[in-house]
């Protein structure tokens, strides 16, 4: 099987998917804008060949370069797991008449207004929302929807340019901040706990599912630096309070025409217990969600995704063994990390339940917490009991402090 895999070297978790593809026997033709010599070693080893393009996000240019490069060679799949190139993958598939999701289907997972329209038309609970282009349109929609509301990009990621707006005065203050966008989504603010619904699908049906609880909501975590954001996968998916979210997720996959591969949805559980749609993508969740999924079931979804995407099979166990908590830390101060307090005590207290200590060590420059969820590193801890994992997560958030200077 010949697989064209887009952007195998960036972002940092892509080499793991390349490894998975190689392990299920695919020959990988990578395409990316990282120069070949700068590719991480952990991806070079898995590539049969690699094409460097000047700008990965210039779709027309990449399509013509890749077509020239592959001329005379047969290709069986075009795959990707990075949001900005999911449509490009679909365009290449369509051009070459290849199996996999169409451009139209991928648009339903990329455009935050089209996805909501399609789901709304199928009777699913999505926030009221409209696509807006001008300040006048925002005012009109705000009249209709009322406050609080959310203004966000149509194809955004990482909470960038996402704003909660509480009043007319707040709206006036926010408009300049999104002024450079040519279009945005203006939507009803949904109160409640925010969860993910993640899957690997085969022919559109989930072969495995996961639900992770974000603490706090990503939008809040993206505004307050002192917060240590947490994401905890939930071992027991049978509990009644999750039933609405699981049903919503399964229905969304059906309506949007999912095929093979990862999906990553976000949804809200309101104080009244209603499940409300947030957004969905037809790729793996970022910021460690695949690792967390793997630790939950003790499996390797980098490889199983590849098996599903290339061969249409899924073989990993779906037995859920653990609740898995990820805690992301942000140091106090700027410059280089100088010391970490409380880590030794925490590691000792948690014993064997810690599965990853990925905190940046003294001497490492601070990362920009607004740009990357991983910030100054993360800890991963797991336990079969929810209360136990929660206790360890809260302790990591409050009892471990990092300092920079
Ligand atoms: N309608 C809404 N009601 C309440 N909160 C919302 C709403 N839309 C977005 N948010 C908040 O803003 C965050 C970012 O929005 P969204 O997930 O649509 O954008 P994103 O930039 O793709 O995020 P990411 O890449 O971090 O998943 C959400 O995780 C949620 O916390
Ligand atoms: Mg999101």
Angle at 302 between CA 299 and CA 307, to 5 degrees: 95
Write out pLDDT tens, residues 199-222.
999 999 999 999 999 999 999 999
The pair of three-digit structure tokens given for residue 334, joined into one six-digit string: 């700027």
Q: Is the CB of 156 under 6 A from ligand 1?
A: yes
Angle at 212 between CA 211 and CA 216, to 5 degrees: 145
Calculate how far, in angstroms, residue 16's C-alpha sits from the geometric centre of ligand 1.
26
Say yes or no to pLDDT of 160 above 80.
Answer: no
Write out pLDDT tens, residues 330-381.
999 999 999 999 999 999 999 999 999 999 999 999 998 888 888 999 999 9
pLDDT at position 104: 98
pLDDT at position 404: 97
User: For residue 266, which atom of ligand 1 is closest to its CA?
Assistant: 17
Calculate how far, in angstroms, residue 365's C-alpha sits from the geometric centre of ligand 1.
28
pLDDT at position 329: 97
Q: Is the CB of 198 under 6 A from ligand 1?
A: no
For a pocket test of ligand 1, which of 266, 275, 280, 288 has the largest count of ligand atoms closer than 8 A to its C-beta?
A: 266
pLDDT at position 190: 97
Say yes or no to pLDDT of 159 above 90.
Answer: no
Q: Is the CB of 217 under 6 A from ligand 1?
A: yes
Write out pLDDT tens, residues 16-37.
999 999 999 999 999 999 999 9
Say yes or no to pLDDT of 70 above 80.
Answer: yes
pLDDT at position 182: 87
Q: What DSSP string runs through 91-133?
A: HHHHHHT-SS--HHHHHHHH-HHHHHHHHHHTT-----EEEE-
Write out pLDDT tens, residues 282-331.
999 998 999 999 999 999 999 999 999 999 999 999 999 999 999 999 99
8 A C-beta contact, residue 27 and residue 5? no
pLDDT at position 372: 83
pLDDT at position 108: 98
Domains and CATH numbers, the chain: 2-100 (3.40.50.20), 128-188 (3.30.1490.20), 191-321 (3.30.470.20), 323-405 (3.90.1170)
User: For residue 281, which atom of ligand 1 is closest to its CA?
Assistant: 22
Q: Is the CB of 110 under 6 A from ligand 1?
A: no
């Amino acid at each position: 099987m010949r697989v064209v895999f887009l952007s195998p070297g960036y972002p940092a978790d892509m080499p793991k998917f390349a490894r998975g593809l190689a392990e299920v026997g695919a020959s990988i033709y990578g395409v990316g804008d990282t120069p070949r010599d700068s590719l991480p070693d952990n991806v070079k080893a898995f590539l049969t060949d690699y094409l460097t393009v000047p700008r990965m996000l210039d779709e027309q240019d990449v399509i013509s370069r890749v077509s020239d490069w592959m001329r005379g060679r047969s290709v069986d799949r075009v795959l990707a797991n990075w949001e900005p190139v999911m449509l490009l993958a679909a365009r290449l598939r369509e051009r070459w008449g290849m199996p996999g999701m169409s451009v139209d289907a991928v648009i339903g997972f990329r455009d935050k207004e089209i996805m909501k329209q399609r789901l709304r038309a199928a009777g699913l609970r999505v926030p009221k929302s409209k696509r807006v282009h001008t300040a006048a349109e925002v005012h009109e929609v705000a009249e209709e929807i009322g406050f609080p509301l959310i203004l966000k990009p149509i194809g955004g990621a990482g909470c960038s340019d996402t704003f909660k707006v509480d009043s007319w005065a707040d709206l006036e203050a926010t408009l300049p901040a999104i002024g450079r966008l040519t279009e945005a989504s203006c939507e009803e603010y949904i109160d409640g706990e925010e969860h993910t619904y993640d899957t690997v699908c085969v022919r559109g049906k989930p072969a495995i599912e996961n639900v992770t609880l974000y603490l706090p909501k990503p939008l809040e975590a993206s505004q307050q630096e002192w917060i240590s954001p947490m994401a905890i996968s939930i071992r027991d998916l049978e509990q009644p309070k999750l039933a609405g979210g699981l049903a919503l997720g399964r229905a969304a996959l059906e309506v949007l025409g999912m095929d093979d591969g990862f999906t990553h949805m976000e949804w809200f559980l309101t104080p009244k217990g209603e499940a409300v749609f947030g957004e969905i993508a037809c790729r793996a969740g970022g910021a460690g969600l695949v690792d967390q999924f793997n630790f939950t079931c003790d499996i390797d979804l980098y490889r199983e995704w590849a098996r599903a995407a290339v061969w249409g099979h899924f073989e990993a166990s779906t037995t859920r063994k653990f609740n898995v908590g990820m805690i992301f830390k942000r140091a106090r101060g700027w410059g280089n990390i100088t010391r970490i307090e409380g880590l030794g005590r925490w590691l000792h207290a948690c014993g064997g339940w810690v599965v990853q200590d990925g905190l940046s060590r003294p001497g490492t420059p601070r990362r920009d917490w607004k740009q990357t969820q991983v910030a100054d590193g993360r800890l991963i801890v797991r336990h079969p009991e929810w209360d136990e994992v929660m206790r360890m997560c809260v302790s990591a958030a409050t009892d471990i402090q990092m300092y920079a200077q």
